[in-house]
Amino acid sequence: MKYLLIFVICFFSCSSNTYILVTNTGDTQGTYYYIKYMSEDGKSFQQGIDSILNDIDLSLSIYNSNSIITNINNGDSVKTDFLFNSVFKTSKEVYTKTNGAFDCSISPLVNYWGFYNYSASKEILIDSSEITNLLDSIGFDKIKLKNNFVKLPKNMRLDFNSLAQGFTVDLIGSYLKDQGINNFLVNVGGENLASGTNQDGDMWKIGIEKPVNNISNDYKIILNLNNKAIATSGNYRKFHESNGIKYSHVLDPTTGFPANNRLLSVSVIHNDCIIADAYATAFMVMGVKKTKDFVKRNKDFEVFLIFSSKENGDLETYISPSLEKSVVD
């Protein structure tokens, strides 16, 4: 795995010790990681981070032909590990609490819509009857994990991509804390966990982009992240077109079609990045009203929503009242 180590010397007040900002970057899970931490004398923990990334790949990657999840999807009888079991358990909990809006058995639909081999220029042909048939192979409640073994019902497949990055962020964060590192920012594919302060002694700042098709640094809002995780899901970059209609990659497991609501982007703030990651996906399916209602009932969640107006399609936003104090002016 290619990576870059960047050392920026900073002096962090802690007796006479010198703390140096270390940055580790590289590729993982089809995306990137970017990790910054204050380390005594600039010690790098790249090797330990690489080990975590490799373990996750061997357990949860559907693109690794030797991974546990690939073997299960192929119908093989293989023993699961702690990583797989942890993600499976969380997936089941979120599936239940969102009434199926979050569903890690959605793989046959993702494949049908062409989002595994995504190309923006790819034209797709939609057959509603085929989608209806595929729904018989969807439903996380049909899948059981018992004694470290999973046997999938016929034509069903697992895909944990919708929370694997958040899970990875949490594992790396826990690893850094175990090494005595308390000031860090872990970013995997845009999902973040912040702990302590940055090299200037300030809280880590995270920008939430405007929902536009092109990649830019045009932020709708910037937040101070105080010992919290944040994950964002949106429908504005990855989509297919058919007969002039845009079809987002955010699929509704109950209909088989892309989610059809006014939400463009959801950012979820929570103590755990795996939870923020999973619910960001679920909320994109649930829509504005159901998301607001859920967050009001569950006080451990904070959200920033960007959605289109009912009246004229202009951008509107909603921020959890408790999150307003974190907005950077």
* In the chain, where the domains are located: 3-326
* Dihedral sign computed on CA atoms, order 235, 237, 239, 242: positive
Q: Which two tokens stand for residue 218?
A: 């045009």
CATH of domain 3-326: 3.10.520.10
Angle formed at CA 62 by CA 152 and CA 35, multiple of 5 degrees: 135
Q: What are 286-289's contacts with CB under 8 Å, separation 24+? A: 286/98, 286/101, 286/261, 287/259, 287/261, 287/262, 287/263, 288/261, 288/262, 288/263, 288/318
Q: Report helix, strand or coil for 88.
A: helix
Check residue 120 and give its pLDDT.
54
* 8 Å CB contact between 279 and 95: no
SS (H, E, C) 89-158: HHHHHHHHHCCCCCCCCCHHHHHHCCCCCCCCCCECCCCHHHHHHHHHHCCHHHCCEECCEECCCCCCCC
Check residue 4 and give its pLDDT.
41
Per-residue pLDDT of the chain (329 residues; tens, 9 = 90+): 444 433 433 444 444 578 999 999 999 998 999 999 999 999 999 999 999 999 999 999 999 999 999 999 999 999 999 999 999 999 999 999 999 999 999 999 999 988 877 555 566 778 899 999 999 999 999 999 999 999 899 999 999 999 999 999 999 999 999 999 999 999 999 999 999 999 999 999 999 987 765 555 566 899 999 999 999 998 765 555 655 556 678 999 999 999 989 999 999 999 999 999 999 999 999 999 999 999 999 999 999 999 999 888 888 999 999 999 999 98
Check residue 137 and give its pLDDT.
96
* 8 Å CB contact between 322 and 269: no
Q: Report helix, strand or coil for 4.
A: strand
Query: Full-prediction pTM beyond 0.95?
Result: no
Check residue 215 and give its pLDDT.
52
Q: How far apart are CA 22 and CA 38, in angstroms?
A: 6
Burial class (CB in 10 A: 0-12, 13-18, 19+), 48: middle
Check residue 218 and give its pLDDT.
66
